[in-house]
Amino acid sequence: MTVRILATAVLALAVAGSAARAADPRYPDWPCTQAKVPEISLAAVWAGPALGDAETKWKDDAKVSALVSKLAARKTPLDEAEKSVKEFLAGSASDKAANAKLLFAGLFETLNAQRAQVMIGLERVSRKQRDAADKIRDETLALQALQGATPRDEAKVEALSNELIWKTRIFEDRHKVVRFVCEVPTSIDQRLFALGRVIQQEME
């Protein structure tokens, strides 16, 4: 693939990213086609009793805190996480409701924080990509000028060509990673909804 084609591909990706961001002017750095929802609403994932002081007290329970960490980790398969919820609540019949609220409060806070970190990272990379696209555009124009110069400095042409190829490939690799990471906030939403549903079912 020639430098010109590579640079054109980068500019096309940059334009596509700009179009996606333009869909919601409130979030100009948001690079995903999925709509940006800054945080999960409690009402969207919890139909159980009010959490009350469980929202702050869950961290004081070592067993709950440890379980929250395990359940919130994306490396923990969802079916395994659901099984752990059932086992934990089955073993606390006398205060099942209280433990259920502590557990969900911990999951809600932890997963919302995870989600926020991912989204901040996505927007940071989006800004880097925009800057990179601008530099690639400028260097492509500079390369074209060098190629059309008389006499032509082959050493400079080759050096700038190699630099453009390297920068373009980094841009494309980063773009692929962004597309993958854009799925993460949705997967966190789904995990919280699924675990919240299991917790509520165990309370009934």
The full DSSP string for the chain is --HHHHHHHHHHHHHHHHHHHHT-TT-TT---SSPP-SS--HHHH--SS--TTHHHHGGG-HHHHHHHHHHH-TTS-HHHHHHHHHHHHHT-GGGHHHHHHHHHHHHHHHHHHHHHHHHHHHHHHHHHHHHHHHHHHHHHHHHHHHHH-SS--HHHHHHHHHHHHHHHHHHHHHHHHHHHHTTHHHHHHHHHHHHHHHHHHHH-
What mean pLDDT do residues 143-147 have? 89
Average pLDDT, the chain: 87
* pLDDT tens string 128-141: 999 999 999 998 88
Q: Is the model more confident about 8 or about 87? A: 87
Q: What is the pLDDT of residue 191?
A: 96
The model's pTM is 0.81
Percent of the chain with pLDDT over 70: 87
* C-alpha to C-alpha distance for 187 and 86, rounded to whole angstroms: 21
Q: What is the pLDDT of residue 8?
A: 59
Q: What is the pLDDT of residue 92?
A: 63
What mean pLDDT do residues 158-175 have? 91
Q: Which region among 33-47, 88-102, 157-171, 187-201 has the lowest average model confidence (pLDDT)?
A: 88-102
Q: Which region among 22-26, 27-31, 120-124, 158-162 has the lowest average model confidence (pLDDT)?
A: 22-26
Question: Which of 118, 37, 109 is closest to 71 using CA atoms?
Answer: 109
Percent of the chain with pLDDT over 90: 61
Q: What is the pLDDT of residue 26?
A: 87
Q: Is the model more confident about 191 or about 22? A: 191
Band (pLDDT 50/70/90 cuts) for residue 155 is: very high
Question: Which of 153, 173, 155 is closest to 6 using CA atoms?
Answer: 173
